[in-house]
Amino acid sequence: MRIPVFVSAPSPDNLNPQQEQSAAIIQKLVSRYKLEWRALGRSDYPNDLPLKEFLRMVRHCSGGIILGFEQFRATQGEFKPGSANAKPATSAVSFPTPWNQLEAGILFSSGVPMMIFREAGLVGGVFDIGTSEVFIHQMPSKSMNAQALDDLDSVFQNWVARVRTKYYGD
């Protein structure tokens, strides 16, 4: 039997080819360790409101993975406009789907072990270093060397051990 883990990621039709390759690397690891990838719009299709369906799913998952892919890029703008801390964006800023933030918060509050991955340049909320005790990993890519993939596998094994402990109640 596979242990269900919730994966927060945009639908495949909202990913570019490189992002889909990164998701495939994570999906291979999920399969290798006999976990079940659960996600709205991928494995599960809601009959109810998406947030309500997500809450149902989380009750049955023993781990969570957040895949922070760029879903919006601002090439100009201002942070905290009108405030004493206002400052212009000096370069392009990338943002994930807002669902990553919402799902990460709910997964965190449910106490399941989490892994968080982000594409380079992604900012805000759960993707800011130091916002939680969860380490923020760089998104894997097809161009990673063998050592980097082996390192990722080791980190994944550690997370899987915590997922199994959560599932079996040890």
Q: Could you read off the pLDDT tens digit of each residue along the chain, which spans 170 residues?
A: 899 999 999 988 999 999 999 999 999 999 999 999 998 765 555 566 778 888 888 999 999 999 999 999 999 999 999 999 999 988 889 999 999 999 999 999 999 999 999 999 898 899 987 777 778 899 999 899 999 999 999 999 999 999 999 999 86
Pairing of strands 93-95, 72-74: antiparallel
Per DSSP, the three-state class of 95 is strand
Classify the C-alpha dihedral 8-156-3-169 as positive or negative: negative
Q: Are 163 and 35 in contact (CB under 8 A)?
A: yes
The tokens for 108 are: 């965190």
Taking alpha carbons only, the member of 58, 158, 54, 47 closest to residue 111 is 58
Helix (H) and strand (E) counts in the chain: 4, 9
- Say whether pTM exceeds 0.75: yes
